[in-house]
Structures are given as C-alpha cells and as structure tokens.
Amino acid sequence: MVSKREVHGLGARTVFSILRPKYPLHLHESVTGKGQVMRLGVLCSGGKDSLYAAYRALETGNELACLISVESANPDSYLFHTPNIRFVGLQAQAAGLPHVRVRSQGEEEVEVLDLEHAILVAKQEHGVDGVVTGAIRSVYQATRVQKVCSRHDLWCFNPLWLTDEESYLERLLGSGFSVLITGVYAEPFGEDWLGRKLDERAVGELKMIAARYRTTLTGEGGEFETFVVDCPLFSRRIAVLATETRYGNFRGTFTIGDACLTEK
C-alpha cells in the first residue's frame, strides 16, 4: 500500500500510477490453477484486505498454514501496516493458526529483507507453498512480495488484485467480517472515524468521500487502516478492552491497548 507519509503530504487526492513492473505479475490468477491444493502463508497486517484474501484462498480450495506479520518500528513504513499489528497473534489464535512474527526497523527497501526473512521462516517451519496478500492496486507492495516469492520458488496469490472496490466491500460485509477503522491519514476523515465499525452506513459515506476527494473506497491509497475483530476464519471473536485515540490535522490512530478472545 502507498505509504502514509506520501498520503499525508498529498492530502486525499492520491493518484495511483500502475506502472509496468520489472517482474511478471500473475496477480489475479487462481492458485488452484496449479492443479493442487496449496499450503499458504498469509501476509497479515490485521486489516480487512489481508484477512479477506485469506478467506478467498480457502474458498478456492487451498489450505492456510499460518499468519505472517512484520512489525515495523517505523509508523510511516513504506511496506507494512503499523496500527495494532501486535494483535495479529490474537487473530491467529482465533483462526487456530500458527503465527510467524518478525520485527523490522522499517527502513525503505531494507524492510524487504525483513519480509523475506519472515516468508522463509514460514516456509521452513510451516511448509508453505505460497503466500497470500491483500494487495489491491499497490504495485510497490505486490512486486516486492512477488520478487521474494519467485526467488524462493513460492506462489504469490493476490485474490483482490484490481478488484472492483465497491463490490469487494459488499462481499466483505456480506461474508460476516466485523471491521474497525484504526487509522486515518487524509482529508476529510475526522476523529469520529477512529474506532468506527465499517458497516453499510460507513461504506455509503466512503462512497461520497471518494467521489468528492478522489480517495479509494478501501483505503488502499493510505487514507485509512483497519483491524478485523471477527470473520468466518475465526472460531472466536476479538473483544477490545482498552483503547487510546490520538488525532490532529486529519491524521489519527485508534490504538488497541488490550483485547481478548470471546465466544461468538
């Protein structure tokens, strides 16, 4: 995804340049096209896109082997989400999956090596055949992940690549995903968006904002970030027990201080 540093500098009028990448992008191809069930590691930020991509991987007949998260010390990381990523471990517990957790200083391009290390751990410890990502339009993200996968003979599955954003959000909500807005980084998002549940009303407002400010509906442009507290992958839901909100100048975070698993 585009870095929050870029979005904050540009305001909400973020424009994507979908450039021809150096590496071939088989981004919208089904893993089952390889003629076998694949064991897949999920690059997981805790947000809606990575977990819905995992859900789609299961729907296409594949197996989830683990969740993989890279925790960046840089809040403006070029490659990784940062709000509440430390709770990916709780999401892994809810899904009954192992969790591969790697730390990163978040230095541009160097953090790709941290990503590679995390993927190699997943390959060695959990026998993954490939990696699932929630990339939608970010060539910056997708090409780097695919380059790492290609180097280690792993499949890279991006089921949301260039998906219609409005249809995707309808499918997301219709599939039973419960999602909170955990970060905003562009005009006109106010403090009232922080901690807000992504529901039909919120999606309706996002459509109006997108029409006026040329933002993305999904936050793929870095305008907002999310955290999933429940979805079909989870046997239990996540209850948020304590939070801290910080906001100023169209930029804010909803940080989870404590959370636990509870029965649905």
pLDDT at 154: 96
Q: So where are the chain's domains?
A: 4-13+38-157, 165-262
Q: Is 53 exposed, middle or buried (0-12, 13-18, 19+ CB in 10 A)?
A: buried
**Entry pTM:** 0.87
Of the candidates 82, 83, 131, which has an alpha carbon nearest to the alpha carbon of residue 111?
Answer: 82
Query: Chain centroid to CA 146: how far?
Result: 16
From the candidate CATH numbers 3.30.565.10, 3.90.1490.10, 1.10.3720.10, 2.60.120.650, the one assigned to the domain spanning 165-262: 3.90.1490.10
Higher pLDDT, 199 or 107: 199
pLDDT at 215: 94
With vertex at residue 173, the alpha carbon angle to CA 252 and CA 185, rounded to the nearest 5 degrees, is 15
pLDDT tens-digit map of 177-233 = 999 999 999 999 999 999 999 999 999 999 999 999 999 999 998 899 999 999 999
Of the candidates 40, 23, 42, which has an alpha carbon nearest to the alpha carbon of residue 31?
Answer: 40
With vertex at residue 166, the alpha carbon angle to CA 42 and CA 94, rounded to the nearest 5 degrees, is 30
For residue 18, pLDDT over 80 is answered with no
pLDDT at 22: 33
Instruction: Note the CATH number of domain 4-13+38-157.
Output: 3.40.50.620
Residue 35's pLDDT band (cuts 50, 70, 90): low
Higher pLDDT, 6 or 72: 72
What does R_g of the chain's alpha carbons equal in angstroms?
17
CA dihedral 68, 202, 158, 254 (to 10 degrees): -20
Pure H helices in the chain: 4-10, 48-59, 88-95, 110-126, 139-151, 165-174, 200-213
pLDDT tens-digit map of 70-93 = 998 888 777 877 789 999 999 999
8 A C-beta contact, residue 71 and residue 102: yes
